[in-house]
Structure formats: structure tokens, C-alpha cells
Amino acid sequence: MAVRIAGPRSRKLPRPSLITPQNKNMDGVRIDKWLWAARFFKTRALASKACELGRIHSHSQQAKASREVRVGDSLRVKNDSGEYHVEVLAVSEMRGPAAAAQTLYRESEESREARRKLAEDRKVMADITGLPDAKPSKRDRRELERFRRRW
């Protein structure tokens, strides 16, 4: 009778926490990595592109993607959701769950209120303008393209 030897069972390994012993000794991390880990941007490439376009400011100065972020730094981040004014509470190079990512920073009350107000204004504008009844005709599309080229 043959004896079957069970192979290694596949199991999910626990995900390491954002602040590992290695990260505790870490002084700083690149700003594009931190923005990605804190979930301000979906990819690190988008985070570095935002730095390149001047949408990230550290201590009221435009930040390059390679600039180091340290605990206690104040950042101004502009993305699709609005403008954030945050203070860095922890440093991480790893992207984790959203709940853990929110522990990396503290957003100011003024920033939170401004984003809330902007979201309300967008909803009101959507109600005022409304959606078109049909998709644009070929003539309408050409006019739109001409208009966009002027800017």
C-alpha cells in the first residue's frame, strides 16, 4: 500500500503591518512612495507626475518626487478629490489597506471642510447643468474639438 505524503498546504501568509521594526528606524522616505502608500494616488507613477506638475508642496515649497518626507512635515496635496493639507504622522514605503493608510497622516479641519464644500458645489452644478438628452452629433463633436484646440 502506497503512502501519500501531503505537500505543503497553500495558505495565506499574514500581511506585515505598515510599521515594521525596519520602518521604525527609518527617518524619511521618498515623497512619491509615501503619497502612494498613503493612498493619495493609485500608482507611484501618478504620484511622481503630480510632483512634477507642482501639485505637491512640502512646507510651502514645491516638492520633487525624490524629496524625503519625515514625521512632522506639512504637505499640501492636490488630486482629483480636492486639495489636502496634511501633517505626516508616520512614514511607510508599503501600501496597505485604506484604514491603515489613513493613520499615516492627519488632515486639517479647514482642508476637510473645504473639500466637503467643493463636493457639495459639484453636486449642485451637476443638477443645474444636467445631462444632454442625446450624444453629440458629428457636427457638435467637430465644434467641440475646435473649441478645445483654441485653449
| 84 touches 38 (CB < 8 A) | no
* 67: Cα separation from own chain's centroid: 17
Instruction: Give the domain range for residue 56.
Output: 21-130
Q: Check whether 39 has a pLDDT greater than 90.
A: yes
**Backbone angles phi and psi of 150, in degrees to 5:** -65, -30
- pLDDT at residue 41 greater than cutoff 50: yes
What domain count does the chain have?
1
Residues 78, 50: contact at Cβ < 8 Å?
yes
Domain at 25, CATH number: 3.10.290.10
Strands 105-107, 82-88: pairing kind = antiparallel
Residue 42 lies in a domain: yes
Residue 132 pLDDT level (bands cut at 50, 70, 90): confident
pLDDT tens digits along 8-34:
554 444 454 454 444 555 688 999 999
Question: Cα–Cα distance between 21 and 30 in angstroms, integer?
Answer: 19
pTM across the whole model: 0.67
139 in a structural domain: no
